[in-house]
Amino acid sequence: IMKKRESFQYSSLSHSRQMVLHKSLGVHEVHDSDQEAQIVEEMIHHSKKEIGDTVYAFMVASLVRDYVKMFTGTRHTCYRVQRMFYAFLTVCCAMFFQFFVLYAVWHHLCQPQVADIREVYHEFQQAVGL
Q: What pTM did the predictor assign?
A: 0.51
Q: What is the pLDDT of residues 30-79, one digit of tens each?
A: 555 666 666 666 666 655 566 677 888 888 888 888 888 888 877 788 88
14 has pLDDT over 90:
no
**pLDDT class of 16 with cuts at 50, 70, 90:** low
Alpha helices by DSSP H, the chain? 15-25, 33-45, 55-72, 77-105, 111-128
Count of other CB atoms within 10 angstroms of residue 59: 19
At 4, the pLDDT band (50, 70, 90 cuts) reads: very low
The per-residue pLDDT for 2 is 42
The answer for residues whose C-beta is within 8 angstroms of residue 10's C-beta and 6 or more apart is 18, 21, 36, 37, 40, 41
**What pLDDT, on a 0 to 100 scale, did the predictor assign at position 80?**
86
Tens digits of residue pLDDT in 73-124: 777 888 888 888 998 999 999 999 999 999 999 999 999 999 999 999 999 9
